Amino acid sequence: MRLAIIHTTPATIEPLKALAGEMLPGVDVVNFVDDSILSQLRDNGGDVEAVAGRLVQYAAFAEEVGADVILSACSSVGELVDRMRRRVRIPVIRIDEAMAENAVARGDVIGVAATLATTLHPTLRLIERKAADANRTVTVRTRLVSAAYEQLMAGNAAAHDALLAEALLGLAAETDLVVLAQASMARVVAQLPESLQNRFLSSPRLAMQRVKAALVG
């Protein structure tokens, strides 16, 4: 079996590859990376239509190389997943979909933290849609930590983690639980007090569970 992962940043390659190795032993992982997408979205105000053709084509390439399932690893382009699904005959998993469903089921006041504005707004819309689907009324509070992303892109992971951890703890104090809008943020949870870690939801493990279900189903 083969899993294709479509990335918009190199930061998600190794963590998702390691998670796939843990949860999907024996599954071959193929990575497609286009690190021009996020900078383009930052420049155009998050207009995913500008990159839609590329994402759909990457899904087609993934199917062409024999993937059984595709994982779209970037929440900033998550709203293009439905279009990718229409292009290919194999399942396409949106990395943050299971996380959003989990959050809506668990919390009435949900925090959404992001380090990129282009990710914050699609995640907010996804949670609102999942709440409507579940006939739930939720309040969403957001926190954008742009300085953390700038540190990560500059190669200063420790500064990224410190800035993000501070913001997450502040948001947790105001909400029932906190959703991490980007897969690259997930590792910071392990650095937070153990008694609070179950208050934070990150997408990678929940998404990989959905990938596993698609592979065995």
Give the count of alpha carbons within 13 A of 206, CB side only: 20
119 lies in the same domain as 194? yes
Q: What is the pLDDT of residues 121-138, one digit of tens each?
A: 899 999 999 999 999 999
Residue type, 102: N
- The tokens for 86 are 């229409």
Q: What is the pLDDT of residues 147-195, one digit of tens each?
A: 988 888 888 889 999 999 999 999 999 999 999 988 878 888 888 888 8
The DSSP bridge partners found for residue 4 are 30, 70
Say whether pTM exceeds 0.95.
no
73 lies in the same domain as 126? no
Average pLDDT over residues 88-94: 97
Give the span between the Cα atoms of 211 and 150, in whole angstroms: 30
Backbone angles phi, psi at 143, to 5 degrees: -145, 120
Q: What is the CATH number of the domain that holds 13?
A: 3.40.50.1860
Classify residue 62 by its DSSP letter. H
Tally of structural domains, the chain: 2
% of the chain residues with pLDDT over 70 = 100
Classify residue 175 by its DSSP letter. S
pLDDT category at 6 given cuts 50, 70, 90 is: very high
108 lies in the same domain as 86? no
117 lies in the same domain as 82? no
